Structure 1
């Protein structure tokens, strides 16, 4: 773990762990939480990208630590949790979509990979950090799901299945910790234009990735979702935002999007 501040400074603020913090919604959420005074712990697989985000936060007067981590690696997650002195907020953001093939032709490896990172990765992190979240007296677990959690569409079977799993994780955990000093929040974004999501889904095909957002006036961007996450996390301890769906105005449903061209 790369320390960017002394231990005393670290504990002066509430600590938020953000997975998938190297880009997109994760990076934007880390910046937003730091601006609200949180000490942020950035995790993802790409150390160089994490360091860049942490430097931005530091340059803006915030505090951050970097911990390269694959959330699908149970041993690595356990080792990470053992080194973390405290955790008040966990943002389970790491995820992704791979492929757009129909069920008939889908690669089971893609479905397995999506389930591992979107569901099992969130399970690993939540299980490892629950003791510290409880000890905080106001622990918050955030799960970033998707509107795909609730609406299936052609070519999206694997991703919808994985995000439904993330939704079920959040809903079940909320039932199981009722009465404890824990809040469980689910944020389900719709169409969000980030630099990598669709590009990864279309296996690096820039033309297909760009076509997803073509003609859509003002799709959401990462900062829009980060603002929603930060708002939900910073409600008073007795207020839980169970599920918040956020879409651009141009998107009425998963299959209903207004385009100008």
Structure 2
């Protein structure tokens, strides 16, 4: 990670779980991390926890599902940290509902807007910054899901709703962006698709808790190390898609 020392990385959904682990890990490796999330108090706590690591942690309130909130956050980033080298689109949400349930359109929209549109909003804004920067390598890493590859119903209690649809869409969007940027070899587009990771998103799906508690799972640090792998393998390599599962996962 020596070549990334003091380089700037933006991590969305940084207030807990995978995003917080990625922020901690990259700061320990000497990067300057800008954490974006809705819960400012959580960001403040994370900032105190990271403290004076080799790198530095800064944060800004941002709801990635809201285009104006994203524009405001990245305008602040452009003004204060104009040499962004890495964006990790990690913000995600799942809600215990079904596609065919009545009067739940707002819930379904929130899943799509956070998991898919939020990543697109952030990528479009960071691209404006990156293409004007002086760096010679830029990485956009999308945290996806095994459900972006394979739709399954693990138990009758697990209601998938539009979460897999958003994750399939994010995987497709990653590939489309890679094709759009073929002419600029500075850009690397990657998708990481974990199996089960026990994070707060599980708490948003209470019907699935019993099933999930009995299944093998990954740690959030496993995903942070995967991000590091993508950043360090070599600038001539593009890791387009990684599936990472816990040993024993049946999916």
Fold equivalence (TM over 0.5): yes
Please point out which of 19, 42, 64 is paired with 2:12: 19
With the length of structure 2 as denominator, give the TM-score of the two structures. Answer: 0.88
Alpha-carbon contact 1:42-1:54 (below 8 Å) kept: no
Q: What does residue 43 of structure 1 align with? A: 36
Cα 1:215–1:82, aligned 2, differ >3 Å: closer, same or farther? Answer: closer
Alpha-carbon contact 1:110-1:158 (below 8 Å) kept: no
Q: Deviations over 1:5-56 (max 9, x none)?
A: xxxxxx9711000000000000000111111111000110001101111222
Please tell me whether residue 104 in structure 1 is matched to residue 100 in structure 2. yes
CA distance in 2, matches of 1:118, 1:215: 26
Please tell me whether residue 123 in structure 1 is matched to residue 116 in structure 2. no
Please point out which of 184, 188, 191 is paired with 2:189: 184
Q: How many residues align?
A: 235
Question: Larger deviation: 141-150 or 71-80?
Answer: 71-80
Alpha-carbon contact 1:186-1:242 (below 8 Å) kept: yes
User: Once the 2 structures are TM-superposed, how far is the Cα of residue 252 of structure 1 from its aligned partner?
Assistant: 3.3
User: Once the 2 structures are TM-superposed, how far is the Cα of residue 239 of structure 1 from its aligned partner?
Assistant: 1.1
CA distance in 2, matches of 1:131, 1:238: 23
Alpha-carbon contact 2:141-2:189 (below 8 Å) kept: yes
User: Once the 2 structures are TM-superposed, how far is the Cα of residue 210 of structure 1 from its aligned partner?
Assistant: 3.4
Structure 1 gaps of 5+ residues are 1-10, 203-207, 254-261
Please tell me whether residue 78 in structure 1 is matched to residue 83 in structure 2. no
Structure 2 gaps of 5+ residues are 154-158
Alpha-carbon contact 1:95-1:117 (below 8 Å) kept: yes
With the length of structure 1 as denominator, give the TM-score of the two structures. Answer: 0.84
CA distance in 1, matches of 2:181, 2:65: 24
Alpha-carbon contact 2:6-2:55 (below 8 Å) kept: no
CA distance in 2, matches of 1:143, 1:98: 20
Q: Which structure 2 residues correspond to residues 132-171 of structure 1 after superposition, within 5 A? A: 132-134=129-131, 135=133, 136-154=135-153, 155-171=159-175
CA distance in 2, matches of 1:179, 1:220: 36
User: Once the 2 structures are TM-superposed, how far is the Cα of residue 209 of structure 1 from its aligned partner?
Assistant: 4.9
